[in-house]
Structure 1
Amino acid sequence: MTRFRPCIDLHAGQVKQIVGGTLDSSTAELKTNYVSQHSAGHFARLYRDNGLEGAHVIMLGPGNDDAATEALAAWPGHLQVGGGISDQNAAAWMERGASKVIITSFLFPGGKFSQERLDAVLAALGGQKDRLVIDLSCRRRGDSRWFVAMNKWQTITDMEVNQESIKSLEPYCSEFLIHAADNEGLQKGIDERLVESLARWCRIPVTYAGGGRDLDDLELVKRLSRGALDLTIGSALDCFGGTGVGFDDCVAWNARQGG
């Protein structure tokens, strides 16, 4: 059943909501919707107190380790963490309290998918795929093609997100996290065609993010995916400075779904 899933996006050690397509190394080009005065731990406790499982903590670039560690310590065993995860540090993040680690860029050296690297990450996690989330955040090419984007969604890889690639990756992970990077942070609505496609292709849990702006989008994802996909709403939430939807309303929506 479709659920609202929250997030904690970290940039330069602060909780922020950023327009995903502008997230490169140039601060002059970075478009930020909101910078919170609250710590990452504050939001982790907020999600804990409202029973919101499956939240993801994403480290967007360097300087976020301490903030992410603070969030995990506030609700150990219940938050997923991603951003800069590799075979060298995956186990360490689990030890810090992550429920799962999320991996993207490490799997695509030079923009090309590496099965060897995926195997190495899984081995570092003791072969337990229930600890691994593969992030297939993507950018659209044409009307109905999407390619995985890495390096803060700036580099397009050689992997098309389609039924074949989804099927090949499902045996190695417990779920997917998929941002529609072209919609991220814009509050202009979800990528409906991508949501419909993911619902057809995926047989394991999927969280979609990008463009969510109100409760109607939760209902839309529920309808388009027949309850198969969860939705993350970020910039539109009042707790992140948005006006589209109240955090408490999303909590209540989840309760009405029975989850």
Structure 2
Amino acid sequence: MFRPCIDLHEGRVKQIVGGSLDEAAPERLRTNFVSDRPASWYAALYRRDGLTGGHVIMLGPGNEAEARSALAAYPGGLQVGGGITAANAAGWLDAGASHVIVTSWLFREGRLDEDRLGALVRAVGRDRLVIDLSCRRRGEDYVVVADRWRTWTELRLSAETLERLAGSCAEFLVHAVDVEGLCRGVDLELVERLAAWSPVPVTYAGGARSLEDLERVTEVGRGRVDLTIGSALDIFGGTGVRYADCVAFNRRWLERTGPGIRSAAPGDDAGDPGRG
């Protein structure tokens, strides 16, 4: 299944090459796309087409207003991440997020802080929490990275890790950082491992460049791993994938499998924000 996204940087919808975002070295930033449309336009588009489970990610400060506008345009239809803590998580749910996504705050000095994870579960509940396990490859392993993907943690993805963390969250979000934003193809080995290891739904992001990638992730992921497509998508200035084709793919998939909890859309109509 296809899941949509809205990445926010400096208050605008952008597509950024994953490993290039570094406040200490802004000259390294590589941007594939900057939209002239607000986040709410994309949220209304996703709402119209019944796409749920998409994520709004705030990449740094100055994005809160745009994130809130997107959530208001599609209440209950989008997840939100970036700067989420136990102190502010409930407020984002009140603003309209279906789930909060948390990464860096869960780690201190490269180690997963179980106390912080417990505080988040108490604040919003397991069913409203998504743990971001974005990772980079190190040897034969995939290791979680935090702090906008710059800091290696001690957490290695494995069946045991995902089984343990699944007890505290509803889903996982996993960016394959080494291929994020490059449109050179997805990391199918990572997708295969996620499908085998995770007892809860997973959204994979990174490297998607064609509709065939969506088909392959759905096949290799055995229908248990969803795919986010960013820079290759035509609504983000890409040429590899048409948004309309992704919507059609989801509809065909649901016709074969029936609606599930991940794909059930709110019943009311958001109107037509237009395309193109």
Q: Output the TM-score relative to the length of structure 1.
A: 0.97
Cross-structure match for 1:48: 47
Give the Å deviation of 1:77: 1.2
Cross-structure match for 1:141: 138
Q: Which digits, 9 at most, give the CA deviation of each residue in 1:52-104, with x for residues without a partner?
A: 01110000111110010010000111110000000010011011111000000
Structure 1 residue 191 corresponds to structure 2 residue 187: yes
Give the Å deviation of 1:221: 0.6
Cross-structure match for 2:156: 160
- 4+ aligned runs moved over 3 Å, structure 1: none
Give the Å deviation of 1:192: 1.0
Q: List aligned pairs for 1:166-185, cutoff 5 A.
A: 166-185=162-181
Separation (CA, whole Å) in 1 of partners of 2:187 and 2:141: 12
Cross-structure match for 2:65: 66
Separation (CA, whole Å) in 1 of partners of 2:244 and 2:174: 24
Separation (CA, whole Å) in 2 of partners of 1:218 and 1:122: 32
Cross-structure match for 1:244: 240
Structure 1 residue 216 corresponds to structure 2 residue 216: no
Separation (CA, whole Å) in 1 of partners of 2:78 and 2:167: 22
Separation (CA, whole Å) in 2 of partners of 1:201 and 1:133: 16
The one-letter code sitting in structure 2 at the alignment partner of 1:121 is: L
Cross-structure match for 1:10: 8
Q: How large is the Cα RMSD of the aligned pairs?
A: 0.8
Q: 17, 20, 26: which is aligned to 1:19?
A: 17
Separation (CA, whole Å) in 2 of partners of 1:13 and 1:111: 29
Q: Which consecutive unaligned segments of at least 5 residues does structure 2 have?
A: 260-276
Give the Å deviation of 1:112: 1.1
Q: Percent identity?
A: 57
Q: Which digits, 9 at most, give the CA deviation of each residue in 1:152-205, with x for residues without a partner?
A: 111111101111111110000000000001110000001111001011101110
Structure 1 residue 203 corresponds to structure 2 residue 199: yes
Give the Å deviation of 1:110: 1.8
Separation (CA, whole Å) in 2 of partners of 1:157 and 1:98: 27
Structure 1 residue 82 corresponds to structure 2 residue 81: yes
Separation (CA, whole Å) in 2 of partners of 1:192 and 1:96: 35
Separation (CA, whole Å) in 1 of partners of 2:87 and 2:151: 22
Q: Which consecutive unaligned segments of at least 5 residues does structure 1 have?
A: none
Separation (CA, whole Å) in 1 of partners of 2:29 and 2:114: 32
Structure 1 residue 98 corresponds to structure 2 residue 97: yes
Aligned length: 254
Q: Which digits, 9 at most, give the CA deviation of each residue in 1:135-160, with x for residues without a partner?
A: 00001112x31111111111111101
SS of structure 2 residue aligned to 1:184: coil
